[in-house]
Chain A
Amino acid sequence: MSFEELEHTADVRIRIRAESYEELFTLASDALFGILYSGDCRPILEKTIQVTGENREELLWEFLSELLFISEVEFFVVCETRVRFTGNGLEATIRGEIFDQERHGGGREVKGISYSGLFIRKTDTMICSEIIFDI
């Protein structure tokens, strides 16, 4: 399905609509990297990450916080994300490349993922989530 940016005075608020939790988490990753970087990214490097959480919301928050951390310290720009749920956690395969100012520069720094500004709701037809990225 899709994600869109909603109004927020100081930060970036994103609403995601997905058909499955896997898709929701993938779209959330796309949204994060869409804020952080501009331009095209090639899936030439691959990395696997694991996170755990007590519930879906906490898992999504942990997942995005981990992606932000990896991106910031490894200068990793992600363009493809695949998610598999495992017990109380998830394993994600992320693909992308190392940051290049010329091609990926000009995005917005994300300071953190708002813990309480995040929710997930499941309806009969879709899974909806809102996330506030602190800018």
Chain B
Amino acid sequence: MVNMMLNGIQQAGVHEWEVPVGYVPDMRVSGRLFLSETLGKTLEEGAARQLANVATLPGIIGHSFGMPDIHWGYGFPIGGVAAFSESEGIISPGGVGFDINCGVRLITTPLTLHDLDDRHTIIDKLYKKIPTGVGSKGTLRFQGSKLDELLSRGSSYVIGEGLGLPDDALLCEENGCMKEAKPELVSEKARTRGIPQCGTLGSGNHFLELQVVSSIQDQKTAQAFGITEGTICCMIHCGSRGLGHQVCTDHIRTMEKVSQKYGIRLPDRQLACAPLTSREGQDYFGAMAAAANYAWANRQIITHELRLLFEGAFGIDYKEMPLVYDVAHNIAKWEMHTVSGEEQRVCVHRKGATRAFGPGRKELPQKYRETGQPVMIPGSMGTASYLLAGTETAMQKTFGSTCHGAGRVSSRKAARNALSGNEVAADLKQKGIIVMAPSGDAIAEEAPSMYKPSDEVVRVVRETGISRVIATLMPLGVIKG
């Protein structure tokens, strides 16, 4: 074995690694990592341990999975996927994360590079139009019964309010709405945090990026996805804002107190969880689903603002900017999967991982049933993003899941110490990429060198067959919080 991997982890195939039962005590299943040699060198001991800890949780099925962009998170690793049985399994806020349904969507336009000669002006307009960063407020207010509707119906509700195209909701995972949402379980605090933030990007790694389709790797599928080489697209990455963060905060403490009550032995308090059949588990599920719906509505409102701005700036029609797809990164959901040859309803936790359903799945919109679903993998700032498609192999190997992005390798502190935001922005400008953010630190912390190389992450999911590469998108300009 090549001496690249942490002790005790064994190679199980090309880019596949087994974290055996016994790596930590009480594991019920083994862990499965998808890593190349290069990415193996960046695997943190803490992340491998977290992957193994997840394998100790009741009702886990198959393996505890780590995608190639795995890194150390809260309880579950980021880049972690785990499915739990309906009767024996658990649900854990740490398996979803603070930013419930943080996710990505891609919008195409008929524009080409030529239309973006004056790139700075359009990025500046976007930066002024889309609220970003700490302390920003949206222009729309959904309160009281309107907020209840939004939390119940997600994307469809705001589209019905005139903020989108009829097809937009169908082009989201879950059709932009988790039916299990229980708005009555979203606390007053969560609502108060969420009301002014509807239609805002937030900060950290959230962004809105203009990209050009630089190359197509699969023409037929690209056509089905509505992607043409040389055209301009827009990628939006954000989540459920303070509302979702508060839902996590509200429930994580409850879970801490009930794990013991249900006789669940935890190797790490951060894995606090409750049985899927328990009241506490179901309450979290209902509140989480409502927060997920808020996130879909949030990305929809930003999409609306973008389309309005582009209509005015470029004289193109609102309808000429269709949504390709919208995927969730941080979520727990009921899905049907084949387990030991039988169809089974399981609760899949994806934390910093993306659903990547293959061809034929009835959850997909008709136009993607032959190709498998689109999956967008954002690069780190200034590097390529990828458009992938889900595969049958992903259905068999990973409960229909793939990576979600590049994955950090360095801390924000190290980034600020090593880099100046102005220099990073100047470097990117030299490459023709405009970056706008409220501070230099926000740029330094998200510098490409602070992340795993996205092309290597994508190579691993392609070579293991859990995704197909359809197109490569290069950044032109980005606004960040």
Measured CB to CB, the nearest residue on chain B to A113 is B249
* Number of A-B pairs, beta carbon distance below 8 Å: 111
Provide the residues of chain A in CB contact with B252, threshold 8 Å. Answer: 112, 115
Q: Are A116 and B269 in contact (CB under 8 A)?
A: yes
Known contacts A7-B413, A109-B133, A134-B98, A72 near B242 by CB under 8 Å:
yes
A135 to B408, CA, bound (A): 13
Per a CB cutoff under 8 Å, which of B71, B135, B268 touches A99? B135
Interface centre among B202, B442, B445 (most CB of A within 10 A): B442
The verdict on A123 contacting chain B, using a C-beta distance below 8 Å, is no
The verdict on B409 contacting chain A, using a C-beta distance below 8 Å, is yes
Measured CB to CB, the nearest residue on chain B to A12 is B412
- Interface flags for B126-161 (1: CB within 8 Å of A; 0: not) read 000000011100000000000000000000000000
- Interface flags for A45-62 (1: CB within 8 Å of B; 0: not) read 000000000000000010
List CB contacts (< 8 Å) of B13-46 with chain A: 44
- Closest Cβ of chain A to B183, distance in Å, is 19
Q: Are A37 and B268 in contact (CB under 8 A)?
A: no
Per a CB cutoff under 8 Å, which of B75, B204, B249 touches A112? B249
Q: Are B203 and A108 in contact (CB under 8 A)?
A: yes
Measured CB to CB, the nearest residue on chain B to A77 is B135
Q: Are B193 and A73 in contact (CB under 8 A)?
A: yes
List CB contacts (< 8 Å) of A28-42 with chain B: 36-38
State which size class the interface on B falls in.
Answer: 35 or more
Provide the residues of chain A in CB contact with B269, threshold 8 Å. Answer: 115-116
Q: Are A10 and B481 in contact (CB under 8 A)?
A: no
Interface centre among A8, A37, A61, A108 (most CB of B within 10 A): A108
Q: Are B442 and A69 in contact (CB under 8 A)?
A: no
- Closest Cβ of chain B to A97, distance in Å, is 12
Known contacts A5-B413, A111-B245, A10 near B134 by CB under 8 Å:
no
A7 to B44, CA, bound (A): 13
Q: Are A104 and B439 in contact (CB under 8 A)?
A: no
The verdict on A86 contacting chain B, using a C-beta distance below 8 Å, is no
Q: Are A69 and B193 in contact (CB under 8 A)?
A: yes
Per a CB cutoff under 8 Å, which of B268, B411, B414 touches A116? B268
Measured CB to CB, the nearest residue on chain B to A101 is B135
A101 to B131, CA, bound (A): 12
A75 to B192, CA, bound (A): 12
Provide the residues of chain A in CB contact with B133, threshold 8 Å. Answer: 105-107, 109
Measured CB to CB, the nearest residue on chain A to B245 is A111
Measured CB to CB, the nearest residue on chain B to A37 is B134
Measured CB to CB, the nearest residue on chain B to A135 is B204
The verdict on B73 contacting chain A, using a C-beta distance below 8 Å, is yes
The verdict on B422 contacting chain A, using a C-beta distance below 8 Å, is no
The verdict on A65 contacting chain B, using a C-beta distance below 8 Å, is yes
A77 to B445, CA, bound (A): 23
Provide the residues of chain B in CB contact with A114, threshold 8 Å. Answer: 74, 270
A38 to B439, CA, bound (A): 9
The verdict on B477 contacting chain A, using a C-beta distance below 8 Å, is no
Provide the residues of chain B in CB contact with A115, threshold 8 Å. Answer: 252-253, 256, 269-270, 272
- Closest Cβ of chain A to B172, distance in Å, is 22
A6 to B445, CA, bound (A): 15
Known contacts A10-B73, A99-B135, A112-B249, A106 near B268 by CB under 8 Å:
no
List CB contacts (< 8 Å) of B225-263 with chain A: 242, 245-246, 248-249, 252-253, 256
A82 to B75, CA, bound (A): 33
List CB contacts (< 8 Å) of B203-219 with chain A: 203-204
Chain B positions near chain A (C-beta within 8 angstroms): 44, 71-75, 78, 98-99, 133-135, 189, 192-193, 196, 202-204, 242, 245-246, 248-249, 252-253, 256, 268-270, 272, 408-414, 438-442, 445, 481
Given contacts A69-B192, A116-B272, 7 further A-B contacts (CB under 8 A): A6-B413, A10-B78, A10-B408, A12-B413, A37-B135, A75-B135, A117-B270
* 30 contacting pairs across A/B (C-beta < 8 A): A6-B413, A7-B411, A8-B411, A8-B413, A9-B410, A10-B71, A10-B73, A11-B412, A12-B413, A37-B134, A73-B192, A73-B196, A104-B135, A105-B133, A105-B135, A106-B439, A106-B441, A106-B442, A108-B134, A108-B412, A108-B442, A108-B445, A109-B134, A109-B202, A109-B203, A111-B245, A112-B248, A113-B249, A115-B252, A135-B412
Chain A positions near chain B (C-beta within 8 angstroms): 5-12, 36-38, 61, 65, 69, 72-73, 75, 99, 101, 104-109, 111-117, 132, 134-135
